[in-house]
Structure 1
Amino acid sequence: MSSGGTAGGAYDFCVLGGGIVGVATAHRLLTRFPGATLVLVEKEPALGAHQTGHNSGVIHSGIYYPPDSLKARLCRAGASWTKEFAAANDIPFRECGKLLVATDSGELERMRALYDRSVTNGVDVEAIDAAELRRREPRIAGAGALFVPATGIIDYARVAAVLADQVVAMGGEVRLATPIEAISESDTAVTISGPTGTIAARTLVVCAGLQADRMARKAGIRTDFRIVPFRGEYYRLPAERADLVRTLIYPVPDPALPFLGVHLSPTIDGDLTVGPNAVLGLAREGYPKGSVNARDAADVLRFRGFHRLARAHVRTGARELRNSLFKRGYLAECRRYCPELTATDLLPHRAGIRAQAVLGDGSLVHDFLIERTPRSIHVLNAPSPAATSAMPIAEYLVDQL
């Protein structure tokens, strides 16, 4: 999947990473700089092989994030862009809306605070009581809920594929199965190299997701963080139960954690999934349950920030691990808002892995994190809602360049 090369040796731009953020960045660079030479480099044999292709496909609205954060600003813009791009390119999507369900008085309090934040963020939201919740979703129980009508569903891997086709049509080159082992920077160019050869570019943009910290270190960026992989394990409901709900059903999230909790998610291909939980992964790219990669595990277990994080969240970690090991624990999380679900309803489904940056003091990086050198810019933390926000992130990166 490629288009041409460069006549003068170095490309104008090299984008490292073929997830949706990397592909969107390549697309935006060629839109802003028509005629520029660009190569997009991906180590896997296909684009969108990791976070882009292993998520619940939700078009987020931006309701959760602090008003002054990049996530809040870029997610709102990204939701609009995603829907417009999908409509213009015949990519199926559906604006099904989302209900955030409070199941007790404590969650009702958090729900009210979330309502206030959503108003500040400019997100259209409606607070409803238990009776109205039951009327709209008869199978869902709760003390109240927030309804976010703009939330939708889509297949982000398909969005990335269409973007990549357009990158090639604009003259860009896409190189797959091209792992990178070294990055070096001079006054005039950045050179990346690996088993398949060497590529030089005047500017490098790194969108490496699960490998972001490693690529940053190769480039000489000193960072006191590690990417800690959190496995998000999903179940799928039987086909005859796929119409259980019409909207996305989420719990009210714990503001101390970056995870949104186990939710019911209709998918654009007609399934209804349940998940994800969030358990420590011992392999950054190992999706089958029980996957272990010695290097990845050592990176986490030797990192002081992980030990501090683990001590601060012992109870949460133990609960997530229990739910991973025992289906009934996972089921109990779902039954808090959907009491009719049974263990036989939970069928196996593919897992995802979230690339979460953790600092040396044990704190989680909640916002998008971006650093740069004179000739490169690195996206160091871009978990959810990065897929929704892909093009505004790309705009932000190009502006930084």
Structure 2
Amino acid sequence: MTAAGTSPTYDYCVLGGGIVGVATAYEILRREPGSTLVLLEKSGALATHQTGHNSGVIHSGIYYEPGSLKAELCRRGAQWTKDFAAAQGIPYEVCGKLLVATDSAEYRRLLALHERSVSNAVEVELLDAAELRRREPRVTGVGALFVPGTGIIDFTKVVVALADSARQAGAEVVLDAEITALTETTGTVTAAGPAGSWTARKLVVCAGLQADRMARLAGLPTDFRIVPFRGEYYQLPPERKDLVRTLIYPVPDPSLPFLGVHLSPTIDGTLTVGPNAVLGLAREGYRKGSVNLRDAREVLGYRGLHRVARNHVRTGARELRNSLFKRGYLAECRRYCPELTLADLRPREAGIRAQAVLRDGTLVHDFMIERTARMVHVLNAPSPAATSAMPIAAHIVDLLHT
């Protein structure tokens, strides 16, 4: 690692050591070998936040609005992730995913998803109840949509491999480099903080949970706020890891950006259940009950969140209940996997989703990227950002040159 401190002017500076930031550094140097680049991460390691706390799913792009950045970049990113993992020797598995409808209303939404999958050029197979039971005997539903291309991976290993490649291409990586000031002039941008300052001709901000704060430091108009939603997981005991062979998802509610509680085999051989979605009072507090006073004040005082809460009172109450009482969480899982018991739900570390919310209460569903003359800011990059990281990086680099 490069020692922190005042440095010469770089061609590029990237803020954020999650998968999108590291992929961007990699892509810049792939396109422009010999360029000077510094990547700054405020934590003591790379991939410590959203990248290191997700479910490790290589998404297929079935859910997203046709023509949206999510739909296009996810589909391209899924193939890139598999190709990169194979080339780097990173373990992954294409296990497929079943979206399970448990009643007639969900089945109608499932049929709409089937139509969307055709628009998004995603391979799927519509199953009836009998075929669902044949493929997954422990799963119950009136029908399902099978997505054969969905896979599982450890995205932290992808970040490590990308960072190693970027370093070999000349990137400097500085950890423990919190940024508290961004200054853009006609020729350069300077990022400064307690550990030092770094000046570059162009700067990319991939700050995830801190994206809105970095935008405000840069003077961007920010008609949004990052609202942290905790995704709480459970892990099944080892003797239950073969309960299902594929990823098992409920049919998502189209009014929400969350996919619901699902059963997820992981690449390390465990089987997880989750996540739910409850308001977080600490952007980077992963333990249950974590509160950061600054974060709590900002989110609870935000008018946009008040409007979200009014629009989703029942959903919010249900998610909170399921967070406080394990039986409620279990009931969500047993709708499609009725043999699960309370004893099966063992604690696992939570994740925190950075969700951009507009002042009018709109939840931003798509990726959101803004730029100035010398900066590109990734303002909203929730799931499937890990799957889509390299196409997002390519899109960012395109913006740097237009």
Q: TM-score range by the shorter chain?
A: over 0.9
Question: What is the identity, as a one-letter code, of the residue corresponding to 2:15?
Answer: L
Q: State the Cα distance separating 1:3 from its structure 2 match.
A: 9.9
What's 2:11 paired with?
12
1:322 aligned onto 2:321 = yes
Question: What is the identity, as a one-letter code, of the residue corresponding to 2:167?
Answer: V
What's 1:38 paired with?
37
Distance 1:88 1:6, change over 3 A: farther
Query: How far apart in 1 are the matches of 2:115 and 2:3?
Result: 49
What's 1:74 paired with?
73
Q: State the Cα distance separating 1:5 from its structure 2 match.
A: 11
Q: State the Cα distance separating 1:345 from its structure 2 match.
A: 0.3
2:244 aligns to what SS in structure 1?
A: coil
What's 1:112 paired with?
111
2:256 aligns to what SS in structure 1?
A: coil
- Cα contact 2:106–2:251 (8 A) shared by 1: yes
1:283 aligned onto 2:289 = no
Query: How far apart in 1 are the matches of 2:294 and 2:3?
Result: 35
1:245 aligned onto 2:238 = no
- Cα contact 1:96–1:151 (8 A) shared by 2: yes
Question: What is the identity, as a one-letter code, of the residue corresponding to 1:207?
Answer: C
- Cα contact 2:4–2:177 (8 A) shared by 1: no
2:323 aligns to what SS in structure 1?
A: helix
Question: What is the identity, as a one-letter code, of the residue corresponding to 1:151?
Answer: T
What's 1:155 paired with?
154
1:88 aligns to what SS in structure 2?
A: helix
1:363 aligns to what SS in structure 2?
A: coil
- Cα contact 1:3–1:173 (8 A) shared by 2: no
1:353 aligns to what SS in structure 2?
A: strand
Cα deviation code 1:290-319 (max 9, x no counterpart) = 000000011111110000010000000000
Cα deviation code 1:221-279 (max 9, x no counterpart) = 01110000000000000000000000000000000000000000000000000000000
Q: State the Cα distance separating 1:328 from its structure 2 match.
A: 0.1
What's 1:313 paired with?
312
- Across the two proteins, how many residue pairs are aligned to each other? 400
Which blocks of at least 5 consecutive residues in structure 1 are unaligned? none
Show the 5 A alignment for 1:19-30: 19-30=18-29
Question: What is the identity, as a one-letter code, of the residue corresponding to 1:274?
Answer: V
What's 2:348 paired with?
349
Cα deviation code 1:353-395 (max 9, x no counterpart) = 0000000000100000001111000000000000000000000
Return structure 1 stretches of 4+ with deviation > 6 angstroms. Answer: 3-7
Q: State the Cα distance separating 1:80 from its structure 2 match.
A: 0.2
2:248 aligns to what SS in structure 1?
A: strand
1:107 aligns to what SS in structure 2?
A: helix
Show the 5 A alignment for 1:247-286: 247-286=246-285
Query: How far apart in 2 are the matches of 1:156 and 1:115?
Result: 28
Question: What is the identity, as a one-letter code, of the residue corresponding to 1:382?
Answer: A
Q: State the Cα distance separating 1:6 from its structure 2 match.
A: 11
2:330 aligns to what SS in structure 1?
A: helix
2:378 aligns to what SS in structure 1?
A: strand
What's 1:397 paired with?
396
- Cα contact 1:331–1:341 (8 A) shared by 2: yes
The TM-score, its normalising length taken from structure 1, stands at 0.99
Which blocks of at least 5 consecutive residues in structure 2 are unaligned? none
Show the 5 A alignment for 1:134-149: 134-149=133-148
Query: How far apart in 2 are the matches of 1:3 and 1:21?
Result: 23
Identity of aligned residues (%): 73
Cα deviation code 1:17-73 (max 9, x no counterpart) = 000000000000000111000000000000000000000000000000001100000
Query: How far apart in 1 are the matches of 2:344 and 2:33?
Result: 52
- Cα contact 1:2–1:168 (8 A) shared by 2: no
What's 2:330 paired with?
331
Distance 1:121 1:179, change over 3 A: same
